[in-house]
Chains A and B, each alone.
Chain A
Amino acid sequence: MHVEFGNSFKKFYKTGNFWCDLYPTTKLILCFTVAMSTIVMNNWIYGFSVCLFYFIFAFFTGHGKQFTKTFLILFVIIGLFLVVIRQVGMRTGNVTPMFEIFGWIWYRESFITSLDVSSYMLGFAGGILLFFDTTPMRDLMYAFEHMGVSHVTSFIMLSSMQNIIDLRKTSVAILESQKSRGIETDGNILVRSKAFFPTISPLILGAFSSTEEKSIAMDARAFSVKRKHTFLRELKPMSQIEKILCLLFSLALISLTVWKIAAALIK
């Protein structure tokens, strides 16, 4: 079984999903251009259509549940919040009242503007979110390393993710040991804070010490050797079709931007 698993690394890594198997840089360019297009368009119908497309597309890639969960939070925080703030903040240009809530009149003009703003904010955030949901960090770092980014940067990025998980585990362990010594750790926010603050210094000191040991461990694995690295897990390089797609999307974004600027100047 282990031999079979080891030999599986001889082939390029694949998930079997068309989108997920694209080269990370391709996904980044496609997501970024679509995300940017919502800002350039600044139109709520376009922006929300793109957001809807993200939803459908995320399910198509098998990451729908994960994407929906985060995107809905963004929708509430960015979308609804901006609409309300815009209603409060926009003082001029409001001529068409739509409805009234407890004496607060909502105008069509400020409502449309707020929809435009929140749609491009959500459109941009959604594109970036879709990219990170469908692209493991290690794949992105793999692509960056092939573009010449140092493996040290790549390691720092990847290990930071694990460090957050490790710190959370250590923090729970410290709190548990506090609890076993009779210190109250459950209860209202004051009790929890009183129990939490003394854990910060051992947590930070522990993190320093484990960082030192981790550097030694990585050094023992020839991390600082000045030789050309090889990769056990390799991704399929960017194909010609992917390159053409990236070029087309980038050209489309540039054209769109030029058209919008020109239209604004003519006005």
Chain B
Amino acid sequence: MAYIELKDVSYRYPYTKEQALKNVTYSFERGKFYGIIGENGGGKTTLCNLIRGLIPHFYLGRLKGEALVDGVDVRDWDTGEISAKIGYVFQNPFTQISGIKETVFEEVAIGLENLGVPKDEMIERVINVCEMLNIEDLVKNNPNELSRGQRQRVAFASIIVMDTDTLVIDEPTSQLDPEGTESVFEIIRSLKESGKTIILVEHKIDLIAEHCEEILVMQGGKIAMSGPTKAILSDFGTLDLGTMIPATAVFGHAMKEAGKPLADIPITLDEAVELVERRGE
């Protein structure tokens, strides 16, 4: 059953003429991992803002169509209550730190304080999340003095601890170095195992290919293409939509063109190795 349902949704930001979303219709199912890719300005972040309820509550503008979260239109959701349902992590690790807490432990607990979680339970949940995200050594540190990567982990911890049904993650690695990126994807990997609904906007296509079950390609405010990850990322046509396909898929197509096709077009490194080995046999 669809958990988040968009029915012919169009949206225009205030003081703009161009629609940021145009007639978007899509259903997100509970427990699935979705990847959103596409060119800059394609509407990826706007779609996240809509699902998260920031549109129309924070960004006013003009919203048409229906956007249902757990059966209730985003217009009717209380902004506070929807944040207890859908977690949101975004690009900038600096602005995701509140600036009002003196230790990482307290920073992670902010959401639980706001939700009125009893203290003993709050402590237990923060301890568990810190262990899950390997930030145990940072708990006493001042969150304002952490590195970018560490801050992003703390931002993740602050949202994961709230135990929301869904997580919307908007380009979490765009400002991180390779080490920071890897540690963020480590977190995403463990979230996937926990069975949460995850909606991830990311440009690092190899990582998208490795983790996501379904892909949406956004272009000009529309969903230009959607479907299972394998089908989308092995299709050369995806390149025409202003996005990339994994290097392994390019390799698969090159092999095909060279008259030495693999049994399938690989989208991950593991798949490519397996297909090449099988071909060799």
Q: Are A1 and B79 in contact (CB under 8 A)?
A: no
B126 at the binding interface (Cβ < 8 Å): yes
Interface string of B37-72 (1 = CB under 8 A from A): 000000000000000101000100000000000000
B254 at the binding interface (Cβ < 8 Å): no
Q: Kindly specify which of B18-26, B83-91, B256-264 makes contact with the partner chain.
A: B83-91
CB distance from A94 to the nearest CB of B (A): 54
**Can you name the residue of chain A whose Cβ is closest to the Cβ of B122?**
A232
**Can you name the residue of chain B whose Cβ is closest to the Cβ of A213?**
B95
* CA–CA, A214 and B92, complex, Å: 10
Q: Which residues between 213 and 236 of chain A lie within 8 Å of chain B, taking CB atoms?
A: 213-234
B94 at the binding interface (Cβ < 8 Å): yes
Supposing A216-B54, A220-B88 touch, asked if A233 and B106 sit within 8 A by C-beta, the answer is yes
- Pick the contact of A159 from B83, B89, B100, B130 — CB < 8 Å? B100
Q: Are A232 and B109 in contact (CB under 8 A)?
A: yes
* CA–CA, A233 and B89, complex, Å: 25
**Can you name the residue of chain A whose Cβ is closest to the Cβ of B79?**
A224
A60 at the binding interface (Cβ < 8 Å): no
* CA–CA, A155 and B109, complex, Å: 15
- Pick the contact of A221 from B58, B114, B117, B131 — CB < 8 Å? B114
* CA–CA, A203 and B99, complex, Å: 18
* CA–CA, A216 and B127, complex, Å: 25
Chain B hits for A5, CB < 8 A: 103, 105, 139-140
Chain B hits for A234, CB < 8 A: 119
**Can you name the residue of chain B whose Cβ is closest to the Cβ of A209?**
B95
Chain A hits for B92, CB < 8 A: 210, 213
- Pick the contact of B113 from A162, A215, A219, A232 — CB < 8 Å? A232
Interface string of B128-143 (1 = CB under 8 A from A): 0011000011011000
**B interface residues, tally (CB under 8 Å):** 52
CB distance from B158 to the nearest CB of A (A): 6
* CA–CA, A109 and B103, complex, Å: 55
Supposing A6-B139, A9-B123, A213-B90 touch, asked if A230 and B95 sit within 8 A by C-beta, the answer is no
* CA–CA, A228 and B117, complex, Å: 9
Supposing A220-B87, A220-B88 touch, asked if A210 and B113 sit within 8 A by C-beta, the answer is no
* CA–CA, A155 and B114, complex, Å: 12
Q: Are B123 and A7 in contact (CB under 8 A)?
A: yes
Q: Are B113 and A163 in contact (CB under 8 A)?
A: no
Supposing A5-B139, A138-B102, A226-B78 touch, asked if A221 and B158 sit within 8 A by C-beta, the answer is yes
Chain B hits for A221, CB < 8 A: 83, 98, 110-111, 114, 158-159, 162
Chain B hits for A215, CB < 8 A: 58
Q: Are A158 and B100 in contact (CB under 8 A)?
A: yes
A186 at the binding interface (Cβ < 8 Å): no
Chain A hits for B136, CB < 8 A: 1-2
CB distance from A158 to the nearest CB of B (A): 4
A3 at the binding interface (Cβ < 8 Å): yes
**Can you name the residue of chain B whose Cβ is closest to the Cβ of A219?**
B83
Q: Are B90 and A226 in contact (CB under 8 A)?
A: no
A176 at the binding interface (Cβ < 8 Å): no
Supposing A7-B123, A158-B100, A217-B155 touch, asked if A225 and B114 sit within 8 A by C-beta, the answer is yes
B118 at the binding interface (Cβ < 8 Å): yes
* CA–CA, A100 and B200, complex, Å: 80
CB distance from B61 to the nearest CB of A (A): 14
**Can you name the residue of chain A whose Cβ is closest to the Cβ of B131?**
A2
Q: Are B99 and A162 in contact (CB under 8 A)?
A: yes
B80 at the binding interface (Cβ < 8 Å): yes
* CA–CA, A137 and B122, complex, Å: 23
* CA–CA, A9 and B144, complex, Å: 20
Supposing A222-B162, A232-B106 touch, asked if A6 and B126 sit within 8 A by C-beta, the answer is yes
* CA–CA, A265 and B94, complex, Å: 61
* CA–CA, A22 and B117, complex, Å: 26
B115 at the binding interface (Cβ < 8 Å): yes
Chain A hits for B97, CB < 8 A: 217
Q: Are B100 and A222 in contact (CB under 8 A)?
A: no
* CA–CA, A248 and B78, complex, Å: 47
A244 at the binding interface (Cβ < 8 Å): no
Which residues does A use to contact B, with CB under 8 Å? 1-3, 5-7, 9-10, 138, 151, 155, 158-159, 162-163, 165-166, 210, 213-234
Which residues does B use to contact A, with CB under 8 Å? 52, 54, 58, 78-81, 83-84, 87-90, 92, 94-100, 102-103, 105-106, 109-120, 122-123, 126-127, 130-131, 136-137, 139-140, 144, 155, 158-159, 162
- Name 18 interchain pairs, CB-CB below 8 A, sorted by A: A2-B131, A3-B127, A6-B139, A10-B123, A151-B114, A210-B92, A213-B95, A216-B54, A219-B79, A220-B87, A220-B88, A222-B84, A223-B83, A226-B80, A227-B80, A230-B112, A230-B113, A234-B119
